[in-house]
Amino acid sequence: QVQLVESGGGFVQPGGSLRLSCVVSGLIFSAESMTWYRQAPGDGLDKRRFIAGISGAGDYTKYADSVKGRFTISRDNAKNTVYLQMDNLEPDDTGVYYCIAAHYVDGRFFPRAGYEGQGTPVTVSS
């Protein structure tokens, strides 16, 4: 049974930091590319936006333009865990963050339907 469990979300003031974690089981984790997506308040699941992705070996990463230089995706294959370090947070970063397994092809990440967690909420507000 495949399980992805996110944690680390919360409430933070602008300029603050959070570190999200996603523990994965039921997959050969090191073979899976992993991504983080954000669902903004009021948007449906189909409107989730790509935030960051990392290849199985961790040697390739990609970020949405809006988070470049502020967010860092990483992984620990020994712990079956992917992380998203979020620094200098802004109100527009508010939303529910989902960890989703993905295929990585020609420099692009394609999320795998059904291979996602329940999400962890992040609120950035003063």
pLDDT tens track of the chain, all 126 residues? 999 999 999 999 999 999 999 999 999 999 999 999 999 999 998 899 999 999 999 999 999 999 999 999 999 999 999 999 999 999 999 999 999 999 999 989 999 988 999 999 999 999
CB distance 52 to 64 below 8 Å: yes
Nearest-angstrom CA–CA distance, 108 and 103:
8
70-83 tens-digit pLDDT: 999 999 999 999 99
CB distance 89 to 72 below 8 Å: no
Percent of the chain predicted with pLDDT > 70: 100
User: How do strand 10-12 and strand 120-124 relate by DSSP bridges?
Assistant: parallel
81-93 tens-digit pLDDT: 999 999 999 999 9
Per-residue model confidence (pLDDT) at position 31: 93
Nearest-angstrom CA–CA distance, 48 and 32:
20
